[in-house]
Amino acid sequence: MTRHRLWLYPALAILIAAVAFWAFRGTPRPVEVAVVHRGPLVQYFDEEGRTELPHRWVVSAPVGGILRRIDLLQGDTVKSGQVIAMIEPARAALLDPANRARLQAEERAAQASAQSARQRLVAAQTDVELTSRELRRMRSLAASGMTSVAVLDETEARQRRALASAAAAKADVRASEQQHAALVALLNGQGQGGGQIVDVRAPIAGVVLRRYLQSTAAVQAGEPLLELGDLAQLQVMAQVLSQQAIALRPGSHARIIRWGGEGALPARIVRIEPGGFTKVSALGVEEQRTQVWLEITAPRGQWSRLGDGFRVEVQFDVARLPDVLQVASSALFRDGSRWAVYRVVKDHAVLTSVTTGAQGDDAVQITGGLHQGDEVIAFPDDRMANGLRVRAVNVLQ
C-alpha cells in the first residue's frame, strides 16, 4: 500500500503540470497569410503633374485704334479664320517722312515674314507626307510581324507631331499675312479720317484661353487681345527627380491617374528636358528636378473635360519584369537594418530576413530568404513575435 502511494504522487504531479501547460499555452492567434509566388512585376513611381499646351497663340491688335467690345468668353470655341475682334483705326495724321519710311520698312519685313512662314508651311507639309508614307510602311511591316509595336508607336507619334507642326505653320502664315495686310492698309489710309474696320481673325481652330480686353477701349498696335489654344494638343508636364528621370526614355509608357475622371489614361513620354533646376520640397529639402512631357494616347473623348493647367498625377513605368519571385508588400517590415517577414512553419511564426529587389504596385521582388510556395503573415504588427502560435484564417492570392 505504501509502495502504490509512492507512485501515485509523482503521477498526479505530472498530470497537474500537463494540464497547467495546456491551460496556459493559449489559443493560436488567427492571421491572414500570403503565398510567395512567381509572376510579372511592374516597377513604377508616381509624380504630380499638370496639363499644359505646347503651343499657344496670343492674338494682338494689328493696328492702333478703338477696339469694339469682345463678346467671346474664356472657354468659347472658335474656328480658324473666324472674326474674333474688330478695331476701328484711329484717325490718321499725315505721316512725316521718317514715320512713313519706318512703316514701309515694317511692311516689307511683314511681307518677308509671311514668305518665310509659307516656306515653313511647305517644309511642314513635306514632313507630313514623309511620315505618312513611313507610317503606312511600318503598319504593313507590323502586320507581317517584321517590326515591333514600339517602333510603330514611335512612327505614329512622329506623324502626329508633324501634323501639329503643319497646323502651327499654317497659323503662322495667316497671322503674318494679316499683319502685312494691316500695315498696307495703314500706309494707304494715311492722312484720311478713320478708315475701314479691321477684322482680327483667329489663326487656329481652338478655344479662348484668356481674354486680355473685353470692353470698348483704345488699343495700341501689338497690344494683346486674346489667347487661343487647341485643347486636342494638350500634354502633361511633370517635374521629376533627376535620379528617377535617368531611368525614363522618350516613348516609354506611363499612366495619368487621379485626374478627376474614371480610370487611368495611357500616356507616352515625348520629351525629357536636359536641364535641371532646384526645387524646395514641402519638408524644406532641396531637390534637383527636371521637366518631363507626356502626350495622352487615350481617345480625346475620354479626357475632353481636362483643360489647360489642371492638376493630375503621373505613374511612370520604370521596368517590367516578366517572371520574378514576389510577395505582398504588406508582409515586409524593417528588422533593424534589414527587411524581414514572418514565415508560417507548422503553425508557428518564424522571423526570417529577406533581400528585396524591384518595388511593384502591391508586391515586392524577393531575391533571397524565401522560396516559391512559402506562406508568410500578410499583415504583421508589433504584437507578433518569433515562435508565436498562429492559425491561418485567410490565404491572400
Asked if residue 179 lies in contact with residue 110, where contact means CB atoms within 8 angstroms, the answer is yes
Residue 391, all three cell numbers: 492559425
Q: Is residue 366 in a domain?
A: yes
Torsion, CA 388, CA 394, CA 395, CA 397, rounded to 10: -140
Q: Among 321, 348, 376, identify where a domain stops.
A: 321
Q: What is the CATH number of the domain that holds 36?
A: 2.40.420.20
**Inter-axis angle of helices 149-188 and 97-143, to 10 degrees?**
160
Together in a domain, 97 and 188: yes
Contact 298, 240 (CB under 8 A): no
Residues 106 and 117 in one domain: yes
Judge whether 17 lies within some domain: no
| 77 and 203 belong to one structural domain | yes
| Buried/exposed code over 60-92 (b: 16+ C-beta within 10 A; e: otherwise) | bbbbbbebeebebeeeeebeeeeebbebbbeeb
Phi-psi region of 222 (alpha: psi -120 to 50; beta: other; left: phi over 0): left
pLDDT digits (tens, 9 = 90+) for 20-41: 555 445 578 888 899 999 999 8
C-alpha cell at 268: 507616352
Same-domain check for residues 259 and 349: no
Same domain, 131 and 188: yes
CA distances from 239 to 49, 254, 289, 310 (A): 7, 14, 6, 14
Count of domains for the chain: 4
Burial of 261 (0-12, 13-18, 19+ CB in 10 A): middle
Residues 222 and 141 in one domain: no
Whether residues 75 and 221 share a domain: the answer is yes
Q: Please check whether residue 21 lies inside any domain of the structure.
A: no
Q: Is there a single domain that holds both residue 124 and residue 254?
A: no
Cα separation, 309 vs 210, whole angstroms: 12
Q: What is the pLDDT of residues 247-294, one digit of tens each?
A: 889 988 899 998 988 889 999 999 999 988 998 887 888 889 999 999
Q: Residue 11 domain-assigned? A: no
Do 244 and 164 lie in a common domain? no
Domain that holds residue 366: 28-40+322-396
pLDDT tens-digit profile, the chain (397 residues): 455 555 666 666 666 665 555 544 557 888 889 999 999 988 888 899 999 998 899 999 988 888 899 999 998 999 999 999 998 877 655 566 776 777 677 777 877 888 887 888 888 888 888 888 888 888 887 777 777 777 777 888 888 888 888 888 888 888 887 777 877 776 666 555 456 788 999 999 999 999 998 888 888 888 999 999 999 889 999 999 998 888 889 988 899 998 988 889 999 999 999 988 998 887 888 889 999 999 999 998 899 889 889 999 998 988 788 889 989 989 999 988 899 999 999 889 999 999 998 887 788 999 999 999 999 999 998 888 888 888 888 777 6
Element housing 104 (H / E): helix 97-143
Report which of 186, 2, 223 is spatially closest to residue 99, judged by C-alpha positions: 186
- pTM for this predicted structure: 0.55
264 within domain boundaries: yes
Task: Say if CB 244 and CB 46 are below 8 A apart.
Answer: no
Same domain, 330 and 377: yes
211 domain-assigned = yes
Cell numbers standing for residue 71: 463678346
Residue 145 lies in a domain: yes
User: Does 247 share its domain with 378?
Assistant: no
Distance CA 139, CA 148 (A): 10
